[in-house]
Structure 1
Amino acid sequence: RGDVFTVPANTGITRNLTRSPGVHDRNVEWSPDGKYISYISDRTGEDEIYIQVQDGSAPAIQLTKNSDTYKYNPIWSPDSKMLLWSDKMGRLNYLDVASKKVTLVTKSKDWEIREYSWSPDSRWIAYTVPHNNTVSIIFVYDVQSGVSHQITDNWYNSGSPVFDTNGKYLFFVSARDFNPIYSWVEWNYAYQDMNAVYFVTLQKNTPSPFEPKNDEVNTESKEKKALPKKGKTDQQPETGKTEIIIDFDGINNRVVKLPVQAGNYWSLNPIGNTVYYIYSSSKTQGPQFKMFDLKDKKEKGLGKVNSILVSANHKKMLVNMNNKYSVIDLPKGPVKLKKNVDLSNMKVWVNFEKEWTQIFNESWRQMRDFFYAPNMQGLDWPKIHDKYAVLLPYVKNRNDLNYIIGEMIGEISIGHSYVNGGDKPKPKRIPTGLLGAKISKDGSGYFVINEILPGENWTKNARSPLTQVGVDVNEGDYIIAVNGNSTKDVDDIYKMLVGKAGKQVMLTVNSQPSENGARKVLVVPVAGESGLYYYKWVEGNIEKVSKATNGQVGYIHIPDMGPEGLNEFVKHFYPQLNKKALIIDDRGNGGGNVSPMIVERLMRKLVLYGMSRNNGITTKPAQIMLGPKVLLIDQYSASDGDLFAYQFKKMKIGTVIGKRTWGGVVGIRGSLPFIDGGDMRKPEFAPISTEGNWVIEGHGVDPDIVVNNDPAKEYAGDDQQLNKAIEVILEQLKNYKEQPPIPPYPDKTK
């Protein structure tokens, strides 16, 4: 709820350090010397950085002022003298705590800098600069000289840089493993599990832990240098005492890979001769906590955890396992959590009026800081704030607040600006069991099955309970009883199915409205029938198009531009490549981000035909649709559904038929945190035409041929837009060019 707490690892006092109702305090971190706690707070009305003595005995000290944007994650230097953070404007800054002087490290022109760390001696800052070409590059900044040095090259995506505690290496994660996987549906590739853990030696004369060993070589001097001081261990180095020197000349040639499997790596913590990290891959189920011993050159699994955080003195580790936290010694074997940190005393008095005011103000600031157009599309944004702030005294619940915020951000007149969630009652939903059928009460008093929806019972989303193997139920049958209770005495059969979704239900059915001769069938109702109705509609359209075109034309509907839409495309595109033409239906598309993948396949051009003896002719590239294509759109073709239509028309793939699309294409990402768990999306990513103009947003994509579906006719099954698509594509098929026959075989004797 926006307050900063300190909680004992074992026993002690749980302390609310800030006690700040109506203020959002966030991104909390202890200073390494244990004296202070730093955090970002908006108590001034803007995000500023504060520090406060850890026992709360003195007021907080404001370190920054005149904030102009959203700040991210301040981290302390190991000597507890500086704080480093980034912001929405792409800047990476650090400040001297004593003088409050802020120094700019760098400014990224392409994206926010979100990965950065300090060297053990507090002189160097390692950070990742993202680039639009997807290759992120690691740099190291010298606090003394103010100069940055590039560490990784422009060929491999690299990130998550962190110095080891001994000051010998800079570890990082990089995508340098190239192992393509091939598609089952077309001759294409993808790359997964490309990342592994790497490091560079900071000095030229530092040997690699993996250098070849030779028993004849005298390594005594090296071994003596490597021995820790008395009383110290390699797991607990003395932080910040030794100045680190970096030889930048040729540093990119000193990259070494840990001998670990490629996948995804995060939470790197190189401590002494041990590297801790969390790993996952396409082959694993969930994240895995691991360690690599640089002396033994072995990796060891430590169990499954959600996250880890190492203490500043490198002696303890906070482990999050299944949302339970424990403080443990640095592990050397599988982690077994014996005692969890007690969070039950983290309680606050909630002042809803102050919270709602803070949430309103932060929503306004977030839109100001993240909206794609700095001019807010011409709006006087402070004036808009004041226009709606006067309504705050009348807010009585979270829904009221969401309404006001929604009206405020609605003034911008743009799609993808949403607000929802927050602390409000969430009654438990009790799903009603549905039978995948149209059912009505008969004059006999029983319920008759008028229609059974078809399905694909091998999938969860389209399972039709009454069509499953062993279920003896037919259209026209009567449902006499549910779990032995007569249906004759109820006006709505679904009252008898409340809470039955996914559970076994015994139906008594009969071909006659009578108990005599009835049979019992065991079914498992579903929680929703939308997937079944969608399946019926798509199959009906496929059949209609095939029948009207004598099997020459295929039909695909794409419901969204996410996994479901991609699955529907793959499911229906490749099996219909034997057709001469294709109707693609983008109507009702809910958006996503995969439209370029689909457009690329629809754009493929024929280069060659191929043949092999006793077989038919093939195309090169394979899996291409040679004939005409028509796209259907309507006012519900939204977001990436808009962009799909724009690309289809721009690239002249085919004719576009229907109604103008929704017109909302400025993209969003996940919500920033709010103190009560609310959610607001900020339009950030706007498309620009190749001619240099803003496109689509607020208008949509116009069809080549306008067709409005009459609602009454559409409800009756007469789809005028689809009818027009069939008419147009049949006309275009008149110019279809058939594949040439196999030419005469060559005669090399002539």
Structure 2
Amino acid sequence: MIAITISGKLYRLDSQTGRAAIIDVASKTMPRWLSWAANSRKMAFVTYTPQDIGRVSIFDVDCNTVTHVTSGRYESYFPAFSSDGRKLYFISETNFRSTVTDPWAPRNYWPDYQHRGLIYSIDLDRVGDSSAGLKTSTAQNSSWSECADNGYARPLTMRDYQLATEELPIVAANYAMLFAVGDRPYAVVKKAVRDEKGNLVDFPKLSEGRRRVSRPLFDEDIFKIEWSADKRSLIAIGRGGLFAAQVPPDGTLPQKTDLNNVSNLAVKIDKSVERVQMFNEMWRLYRDYFWDPKMNGKNWEDARRKYIGFTD
């Protein structure tokens, strides 16, 4: 389990021991857009260069290493693993075709770069295949761990990941969010970069040699969206209010279920669980921000074990 503290530091929490360890991440500002692989051995997220440009990074749980997989020359963001964990999708603003076709047109004295976002994928089973001498005979593609004892002669580098990266044949757009349902990418597209709303789209396959045009899934823009853990269901806020939908695996358009009538909705609260959560949050707050790092000589782990029982 990974948590980001208020100070923006990235921590790794061992669910069995309850101990947290900081992950050494070089980032100008707080890492964002955390995404776990299906096997929970890799986590992708976005760090920021000294110029404040987003770059996609991968944390290997087994090796406790962080590798940048994009260079930081172009803004890259919103990584998303496929359901089987074998591919990593992300958005990168690498399209710089100006929307101004006539440089002498009125009030258009310079290029105007809209629709800069393109979608890329990293085939994680291919990482290291193109690097001579990197993989040994014991390397296991399905686990793709960076550790040398997993069959690699050296740790993986940005170059190894870039050699397994390809641009998807999808039209450029103002992509704001990216999701993967199975091995198919879904995205939220905005008409303008500054818009607060966007359209949820997928990309039906077209004839070879042409870029895929996005297909809106709903007849309205959405302001916020949340997916279920298996990425088969979603809940969103659109112009008409709150709605839910299930995404069919055959690629057909999902059907919305209106949730605006919430008069009969009820939420069950387990007070014992609530008390444990409140206790743990307060315990962590003092651990991270108490004025004395040594807690005035008190063993903070022992204190937690002593008093947690009073929450029952």
Q: Which of residues 212, 226, 249 in structure 2 aligns to 1:309? A: 226
Q: CA 1:96–1:343 in 2, change beyond 3 Å: closer, same or farther?
A: farther
Contact 1:315 1:329 in 2 (8 A): yes
Q: CA shift at 1:103, angstroms?
A: 2.2
Q: Counterpart in 2 of 1:344? A: 263
Letter in 2 for 1:287: G
Q: Counterpart in 2 of 1:147? A: 65
- Map 1:360-375 to 2 at 5 A: none
Contact 2:58 2:68 in 1 (8 A): yes
Note the alpha carbon deviations across 1:422-452, whole angstroms, 9 max, x for none. xxxxxxxxxxxxxxxxxxxxxxxxxxxxxxx
Letter in 2 for 1:317: L
Q: Counterpart in 1 of 2:86? A: 168
Q: Counterpart in 1 of 2:200? A: 289
Q: CA shift at 1:176, angstroms?
A: 0.6
Gaps (5+ residues) in structure 1? Answer: 1-81, 208-241, 349-364, 370-750
Q: CA shift at 1:293, angstroms?
A: 4.8
Aligned identity (percent) is 19
- Map 1:5-404 to 2 at 5 A: 82=1, 84-182=2-100, 184-185=106-107, 187-204=109-126, 244-245=143-144, 248=156, 250-282=160-192, 287-293=198-204, 298=212, 299-303=214-218, 304-306=220-222, 307-322=224-239, 324-331=241-248, 332-340=251-259, 342-344=261-263
SS where residue 99 of structure 1 aligns?
Answer: coil
Contact 2:74 2:92 in 1 (8 A): yes
Q: RMSD over aligned Cα, in angstroms?
A: 3.5
- Map 1:459-498 to 2 at 5 A: none
Q: CA shift at 1:108, angstroms?
A: 4.5
Contact 1:135 1:155 in 2 (8 A): yes
Q: CA 1:134–1:99 in 2, change beyond 3 Å: closer, same or farther?
A: same
Q: Which has the larger radius of gyration?
A: 1
With normalisation by structure 1, the TM-score equals 0.28
Contact 2:127 2:161 in 1 (8 A): no
Q: Give the whole-Å Cα distance in 2 for the aligned partners of 1:290 and 1:253.
A: 28
Letter in 1 for 2:256: L
Q: Give the whole-Å Cα distance in 2 for the aligned partners of 1:139 and 1:338.
A: 37
Q: Give the whole-Å Cα distance in 2 for the aligned partners of 1:328 and 1:86.
A: 30
Q: CA 1:109–1:269 in 2, change beyond 3 Å: closer, same or farther?
A: closer
Contact 1:115 1:159 in 2 (8 A): yes
Letter in 1 for 2:7: M
Q: Give the whole-Å Cα distance in 2 for the aligned partners of 1:112 and 1:131.
A: 11
Task: Find runs of 4+ consecutive structure 1 residues off by over 6 angstroms.
Answer: 294-297
Q: CA shift at 1:262, angstroms?
A: 1.8
Gaps (5+ residues) in structure 2? Answer: 130-140, 147-155, 268-284, 290-312
Q: CA 1:258–1:281 in 2, change beyond 3 Å: closer, same or farther?
A: farther
Q: Counterpart in 1 of 2:308? A: none
Structure showing greater relative contact order (alpha-carbon pairs closer than 8 Å, 6 or more residues apart): 2
Q: Give the whole-Å Cα distance in 1 for the aligned partners of 2:234 and 2:194.
A: 24
Contact 1:202 1:246 in 2 (8 A): no
Q: CA shift at 1:341, angstroms?
A: 6.1
Contact 1:300 1:333 in 2 (8 A): no
- Map 1:495-574 to 2 at 5 A: none
Higher strand share: 2
SS where residue 180 of structure 1 aligns?
Answer: coil
Q: Give the whole-Å Cα distance in 2 for the aligned partners of 1:158 and 1:170.
A: 13
Q: CA 1:179–1:197 in 2, change beyond 3 Å: closer, same or farther?
A: same
Q: CA shift at 1:123, angstroms?
A: 0.6
With normalisation by structure 2, the TM-score equals 0.64
